Each structure stands twice: as C-alpha cells, then as structure tokens.
Amino acid sequence: MAMIEVSNLTLGYENRVILQGLNFTVNAGDYLCIVGENGSGKSTLMKTLLGLQKPMDGSITFGDGLRKNEIGYLPQQTAVQRDFPASVREIVLSGCQSRGGWRPFYTKAEKQLAQQNMERMGIGDYGRRCYRELSGGQQQRVLLARALCATQKILLLDEPTAGLDPKVTAEMYDLISALNREGITIIMISHDIAAAVCYADRILHIGKRVFFGTKEDYRSSDFGRLFLMQEDGDAHD
C-alpha cells in the first residue's frame, strides 16, 4: 500500500476552490517535488497533507505503517522565525515533541537523538549557539535536524532553499538527496523547476493543468518542456 494516497482532493479556503480533482500517490523511498505557479495551491496542499487544513472534498489516506505524528516538517521561514532567541539544541530537541505528546522534559534517548541528527546535518558543535546568530544555510540545517527528530520515514519540506545563495542551495539539495538515499521519503515544494527535475524522481505540477509522474515523463511532455523553457528564459533575462 502507498505511504500516502490522495484521491479526488479539492483544496481551498473560505469557500474559494484553488484546486480540485487532485490524485497522486507517494510510496516509501520516493522523492516527490511539488511545483507550480504562485497561487496554484502548493502550500495549501502541504498544510492539508499535514492535517493543518481540512480538504474541501476528497481524501488523504496514510498507509504502509505511517502515522500522522511520524511526519517531519520543515516550513518556510518567516523573518520572525529567523530571529528566534533559542539555542540550536533547544530547537532541534523540540522536534521530539510529536513523538510522545507534550512533556516538561526530554528523555535521555531524545537528547541523544537530537545530538545524532545535529551531527548528521554537520552542526554537531552548534548546540549552545543562538539560532538567530546563524547564517541562513546553518538555520536550515538546524530545522532539518529538528524535522528528523520527528521521523525516520518521511519529510515534508516547504521551499527549503528559499533565500539561500547558490552554493548553500546546492549543499542543501545534496543533504536532502543523501537523506532520500538513506531511505527517507521526501515531499518538497520548490519554485525551482530545473532543480526539481534534477534531484527528484517524481514531479507533481499543479495549477490550471496538473501533471503527476516521473521526472523523465515530465521533461519529455509538452507541458514540462514549456515550463522548463520559460524558467531557462527567465534565468537568462
């Protein structure tokens, strides 16, 4: 059974439909990129998958042993969040809260898990540092470590490279690909279609038209070629 199965999903808010009749599946080990124009419903879809927003119609079914509290989430950062006055260790540890509900303390195993994930993200020595003093790329590594404390199965990432310079963006994509090779399923929203077809193995393009399939089929489709040409043209303007 698929890890996530989306059937005839209608998305929207305040009685305004953004997207309807959406169907796709996510299997264990997939690397799915969700792309589309601004306002096409990418973030609304992410919130709906997380259970933060109810669908207007249709269903989302979790299978393959996946529970809702086993989803790691890296949201888009706001200016306020980037200035959050907490230590790196405190933020990473907070990812453990979904594992056992709210508690006033963390277990020894959770503290060890947080340290392991910090080391996994190359920030093992950053525990006492203040989060808001870190660079954008370092902050994203902290948030990835936090998300990994919530799951060993699936990560939902909303524009994880937004605002990063090209070198740090490439490093972040490499980190995410490495996690996928370790067996973690990736669902990522990206505004960068060229990067999506480079790193992901499946593409969900939403908007006035919808495409769901392999990156090879997306590249060879009239639909995919059109958007890739537009993006390439924008890059050279």
- pLDDT at res. 237: 47
Parallel, antiparallel or unpaired: strands 57-62 and 4-13: antiparallel
Percent of the chain with pLDDT over 90: 65
The residues near 116 (Cβ < 8 Å, ≥ 6 apart) are none
pLDDT digits (tens, 9 = 90+) for 101-113: 566 678 899 999 9
Are the C-beta atoms of 231 and 193 separated by less than 8 Å?
yes
Report the predicted TM-score, pTM, of the whole model to 2 decimal places: 0.90
pLDDT digits (tens, 9 = 90+) for 43-84: 899 999 998 889 999 999 999 888 877 899 998 876 656 777
- pLDDT at res. 177: 96
Parallel, antiparallel or unpaired: strands 185-189 and 31-36: parallel
The answer to whether residue 228 scores a pLDDT higher than 70 is yes
Q: Return the higher-pLDDT residue of 20 and 235.
A: 20
